[in-house]
Amino acid sequence: MTQYRTQVKIIADVLSTARDMNVEGNGVGITALLRRGNMSYGRMTKLLSELVGSGLLTELSGDKISKYMISDKGVQFLTAYHSFEDFAQSFGLRL
């Protein structure tokens, strides 16, 4: 069954992608984030600038395209997210 994602779930998904796909340590491009994030380009760029602004992602500016890397604060957010997700799921709720 299709389920709507809440804003906090979308943020957690983007941060997880930025963490998991950054295997070489030089960040993740917007194309990879879009593929895994399942949202429009416009919405993704707006979200990315918000996440960079709030310090959850770090923007690595290259020659042509920007790449994104999860920050320490982002890792902290994901840890907290998973703990509270577990807590909410115990009550049969989704974050």
Partner 1 sequence: MPMQSDMVLIADMLQFIGVFVSFSIAYVAYRGVRQIESSSLLRLATAFVFLGFGFLVEALVGLDQFVSFLPITATVIVIGGLLLETTGYFFLAFSHAVDVMLSKRLGPVLMLFPVLTLSLTQLQNVLSFFAFYFVLYGVVETVHSYSKNKRPDTLLIALGLGLISSGIFFQWLSLLYQYVGVLSLLQIILQEMGLLILFTPVLGFARRGVKLDDTI
83 counts as binding partner 1 under rule CB under 8 A: yes
CA pair distance 4, 86, nearest whole angstrom: 19
Q: Shortest approach of partner 1 to residue 54 CB, angstroms?
A: 9
Query: Which residue's CB is nearer to partner 1, number 43 or number 82?
Result: 82
Q: Does 76 bind partner 1 (CB under 8 A)?
A: yes
H/E stretch holding 52? helix 41-53
Torsion of CA 44, 84, 69, 11, to 10 degrees: 0
Per CB under 8 A, does 46 bind partner 1? no
Q: CA 62, CA 84: separation in Å to the nearest integer?
A: 35
User: What residues make contact with partner 1 under the rule CB under 8 A?
Assistant: 1-4, 6, 8, 73, 76-77, 80-81, 83-84, 86-95
